[in-house]
Amino acid sequence: MRSTGNVRLDEWTRTNDGLPNDAPPVTDDGAVLLDVRGLGIAFTGGAARVQATHDVSFAVRPGERLGIVGESGCGKTITGLALLGLLPAATSHVVGEAMFEGQNLVGLPLSRMRHVRGRKISMIFQEPMSALDPVFTIGQQIGETIRAHFGASRRQARARAIEALASVGIPSPARVHDSYPHQLSGGMRQRAMIAIALVCEPRLLIADEPTTALDVTIQAQIIDLLLDLSAKSGTALLFITHDLGVIAETCTRMLTMYAGEVVEDAPVDSALVQPRHPYTSGLLRSLPRLSARGAVLPSIAGRVPTPSDMPSGCRFAERCVHRRAECAAAQTIVQFGEHRVRCGRHDALVLPGALTDREAAA
């Protein structure tokens, strides 16, 4: 390691460049870091217009870990991409607002978005191989972020990049710094991605299925790493996954999306034990651990409706075993305590969660 050695980023930014170290303290409890309201995403192709998500609202507090669950096609990933302005500008239309540190991320001009991406909000993706550029070394890709946001010299960037690789548990970080992505294993690539995402100590990390492509043993390592880094730096997490076990072990809140809408938002333990939306309950009940070995697994019949064929009433009604006539009306999201749910029958229903009968009785 060179002369700039073990300088922490916060000291380093203060001493080495003119940029203000403007991160507010992480202990501002009660304050909201990201406030998403009425976010709607539509895509156009030719004459067709498809409303992919509708009225998505949620908040992330500093240091909070929010998990978004739902089947493929429910709008989880595009919601994450929209927050960073990463949807194709020519064909996507985003309405609503996403307030982050006093500015609305929706419609934020590129010149200002560049100061947010990677510095304030970072994103990691499912497949690290396609997110990393194969023709640059890992070190060049981390260094790029540091140099873009802090105007550091190459030497400083190298030192900081090696430090970042070490902090995500990569053995021999100096060697990995000079390696190309194809020379690393899947788990190491995902660690390198996390190092790139966290090198500027962002306030929010959006993680889109970051462990789905990994083995369960490596997944456990990455989850531990994310929790550890989040606790150390106070970085909030927006964790997009379809794996309810990962959500349970990682997140403090769970947001269930269905067909482009938020249908439930609750503290994770409450959502797991006593879900209030039939869709959340259905997802939890279809897990093999709740059924006797070899028994028929409960499943949710049918499929997510396509955006071009969206029912006007409750979007889940067609697949819902608790459907009544009133479900043909559009459903609004209702809040009670820390729980929000988009189901007109939530008061009438007692739905099973992720516990076996024996666990629930205990």
Partner 1 sequence: MSEAPAAAIVTVEDLRIRFPTQDRRETVKAVDGISFSVLPGETFGIIGESGSGKSTLGRAVVCLLKPSAGRILHGGTDPYSLSARELRLRRRAFQIIFQDPNAALNPRMSVLDSVREPLDIVGEGSRAARDRIALELIERVGLRPEFAARYPHELSGGQKQRINIARVLTVRPRLIVCDEVVAALDVSIRADILNLFADLQREFGLTYLFITHDLGVVSHVSSRIAVMYLGRFMELGPAEDLADRPLHPYTQALLSAEPVPLPSAMRTGKRVILQGEIPSPTNPPSGCRFRTRCPFAQAVCASDEPAWREAAPGRFVACHFAGDVTGHPINATQTEEATA
**Which positions touch partner 1 (CB under 8 A)?**
71-72, 185-188, 215-221, 223-224, 242-249, 268-269, 272-273, 282-284, 286-289, 291, 293-294, 296-300, 303, 354-355, 359
Nearer to partner 1, 2 or 293 (CB): 293
* Two structure tokens written together for 80: 């994450």
- Burial of 59 from C-beta contacts in 10 A (0-12 / 13-18 / 19+): middle
Write phi, then psi, for 182 (nearest 5 degrees): -70, -15
Closest distance between partner 1 and the C-beta of residue 279, in Å? 9
Closest distance between partner 1 and the C-beta of residue 214, in Å? 9
Nearer to partner 1, 86 or 298 (CB): 298
Nearer to partner 1, 86 or 310 (CB): 310
Write phi, then psi, for 206 (nearest 5 degrees): -95, 120
Instruction: Evaluate whether 265 touches 255 at the Cβ level (below 8 Å).
Output: yes
Q: Is the dihedral of CA 145, 150, 152, 156 positive or negative?
A: negative
Closest distance between partner 1 and the C-beta of residue 107, in Å? 32
Nearer to partner 1, 108 or 227 (CB): 227
Closest distance between partner 1 and the C-beta of residue 217, in Å? 5
Closest distance between partner 1 and the C-beta of residue 158, in Å? 25
Instruction: Determine the distance from the C-alpha atom of residue 333 to the mean position of all C-alpha atoms in its chain, rounded to a whole number.
Output: 21
Closest distance between partner 1 and the C-beta of residue 198, in Å? 20
**DSSP secondary structure, 169-224, as one string:** T-SSHHHHHTS-GGGS-HHHHHHHHHHHHHTT--SEEEEESTTTTS-HHHHHHHHH
Nearer to partner 1, 108 or 225 (CB): 225
Instruction: Evaluate whether 40 touches 30 at the Cβ level (below 8 Å).
Output: no
Nearer to partner 1, 122 or 250 (CB): 250
What single-letter DSSP state applies at residue 323? Answer: -
